[in-house]
A and B are shown apart, each in its own frame.
Chain A
Amino acid sequence: MEFLVASSIGLLSACGVYMLLRGRTFPVVIGLSLLSYAVNVFLFAMGRLQVDMPPILSDSATGYTDPLPQALVLTAIVISFGMTAVIVVLALRTYLEIGNDHVDGLPGGPTDSGETK
């Protein structure tokens, strides 16, 4: 199971980073989402992988799984979900305002040094 989880985190991050480095906003948004999934699973795994264990210690329990990373993951999921929504809206607005979906603007297009307008 460790191998499966580790390699899926690796695969997700690799795809995420690749997509993040693309020049258009849509792949970048997808890349950020993939990266945040990878991070969520990673955080989860940081509490060690335990199967069928209670998150709370009791007298009858033979072991436990660490509940804290799960709480952290919940926070991280909420934040990354909200941020994905923000960036999707922003990507759309940018596309509608400047007429293309390139993260850095088109070659020869307006630059932020303000030389060509």
Chain B
Amino acid sequence: MGNWMIVPVVLPLVMGALTVLAVRHDLILQRVFSAFTVVALLAVSIALVSYAAHTGPEMYALGNWPTPFGIVLVLDRLSAMMVLLTSILAIIVWFYASREWDKRGKHFHALFQFQLMGINGAFLTGDFFNLFVFFEVLLIASYGLMLHGAGGERLKAGMQYIVVNLTGSSLFLIGVGLIYSVTGTLNMADLALKVPLVPDSDLALLKAGALVLFLVFCIKAAMVPMHFWLPGTYANAPAPVAALFAIMTKVGAYSILRLYSLAFGGTAGDLSWLVAPYLLPAALVTLVVGMVGVLAAKQLTRMVAFAVVGSMGTLMISISLFTPDSVAAGLYYMLHSTFAGAALFLIADLVISRRGQFGGILHAAPEIRQSGLIAALFFMGAIAMASLPPLSGFLGKLQILSAAQNSPHMIWIWAAILGTSLLNIIGFGRAGSVLFWKSSATEGEIQTASDQTFPPQAIIATGMMLAMLVALTVFAGPVTGYLHDTSAELFDTTGYIRAVMGADAPVAEVTTVAPFAQ
């Protein structure tokens, strides 16, 4: 069963290649191929999650080369859950895109599948050079998707996105090089064994390398001050692509959580919890900047993009505390914010496509078609993003606040999270009243292109995304239980390391239980 963990990487690769080579002229077949991939991925990832929950971390050695020399994939609760999250998101995005968006440019489905391959690979890989390779795979596919059906604005935003990410890739290699030069390994589990043994004279180099890598992950996770690429990119990307990109910032968050709890966590001696003192302030500022951006945005998709930046801030606050409770709370909020962000991008697209020449600018315009239905969807999306009850965001934030209770920085965390929630409510409330209430009283006519259609499929897909939030709320008990096990597994690194390095690997003692401890 453990060997199935290669499927989420290989299946999209094979199907993507087949899509380009065999069916590139036939859109229907492309959709079918792509549908096969996402459905199969969902089935496999559900099986992987239940497998990981029963057996704990397991390794798959590609080509059967012995670790730490060969390349490994590692399946544990965290990576299995991230793959499942990706698959669910992918199915809904596929459903949304397969009506109309995939006609606007070539090779949508092939790029979509390569993107899935990169994301799944990044979640499953067990060594950080392959993390670089999978980052590149997902980025290269995302460049193509981002520019899908290009226009001037989108090209310009795409250019900035690519330049930022290429610079990030250079930094990634510098970090990888520094860590390799000190420890002589690229395998994360092996690194966790080697870090405590590094002599004092080399600690500065290792620390520099680890922090350069942290910088790269912060670019991916859109942490202030490396968030500038996100609003422009997400606001200008095609809607289904922006919804899929909701998982990409989480790849950065996942990498930070994985590498800095495994190799630079409690067992790392002098480098224990290396990034926590940098991550917490950055996350607080990110949250504030994101939510102030929500207030300031004059355009709907930009507003949603800033809300995504803000939610990354909340997520990273709770990860930066590095306690089992805070990480479990953060993971729950991560599931929530992925679906909430994706749903809002889809809703924004529903609104904008109906507003014709008025586009996404937050000014009153004549009433749109199906105004009531769209307004209801927007209302639900806004509730989710603002983390109001009854949806899962409320539970997520509540858990984060309660996990932060014993932290010495509790006042800052509570003030930032509660204060920005208010900003978020005001921002979305104002946007909603302009888009739906004021607009219903405005005279005039909306001109849409004559071939413009409003497929019900798009609304159904958006509803599915919101339904995931409802499901996350209803099944909060089992999900939280799984996440607490996940978090316990992350903090007891012995299981992960022994799964990769063999049952007799000499795992170092935990010297520091958590950062910020008195």
A residues near B, CB below 8 A? 20, 25, 28, 32, 35-36, 38-39, 42-43, 46-48, 68-69, 72, 75-76, 79-80, 82-83, 86-87, 90-91, 93-94, 97-98, 103-105, 110, 112-115
Contacts and interface: CB of A to CB of B under 8 A. Distances in A.
Contacts of A28: 163
A72 B129 contact: yes
Interface string B137-175: 000100100010011110111111011001101100110
A108 to B, nearest CB: 15
Given A112-B236, A114-B299, A82 B156 contact: no
Nearest to A83: B166
Nearest to A48: B181
A78 B133 CA distance: 11
A97 B152 contact: yes
Contacts, number: 108
A83 B140 contact: yes
Contacts of A90: 143, 147, 155, 158-159, 162
A86 B143 contact: yes
B156 A105 contact: yes
Nearest to B179: A46
B159 A76 contact: no
B396 to A, nearest CB: 30
Nearest to A111: B153
24 contacts: A32-B166, A36-B166, A36-B170, A39-B174, A42-B174, A43-B176, A46-B181, A68-B186, A72-B173, A79-B133, A80-B169, A83-B136, A83-B162, A87-B162, A90-B147, A90-B155, A93-B150, A98-B152, A103-B156, A110-B152, A113-B297, A113-B298, A113-B299, A115-B298
A94 B163 contact: no
Given A83-B169, A112-B156, 10 more contacts: A25-B159, A28-B163, A35-B170, A43-B173, A68-B186, A69-B177, A75-B129, A80-B166, A103-B159, A105-B156
A105 B156 CA distance: 8
Interface in B218-264: 232, 235-236
A93 B155 contact: yes
A60 B55 CA distance: 47
B169 A20 contact: no
A87 B236 contact: no
Contacts of A75: 129, 133
Contacts of A112: 153, 156-157, 232, 235-236, 302
A50 to B, nearest CB: 13
A97 B173 contact: no
Given A36-B170, A86-B140, A43 B177 contact: yes
B468 interface: no
Contact of A42 (B129, B133, B158, B177): B177
A76 B156 contact: no
Contacts of A87: 159, 162-163, 166
A95 B159 CA distance: 11
B133 to A, nearest CB: 7
Contacts of B176: 43, 72
Given A32-B166, A35-B167, A69-B180, A94 B174 contact: no
Nearest to B360: A114
B27 interface: no
8 closest residue pairs by CB, A with B: A46-B181, A46-B177, A98-B152, A94-B155, A43-B177, A97-B152, A39-B170, A39-B173
Contacts of B163: 20, 28, 32, 87, 103
Nearest to B144: A86
Nearest to A36: B170
A81 B3 CA distance: 34
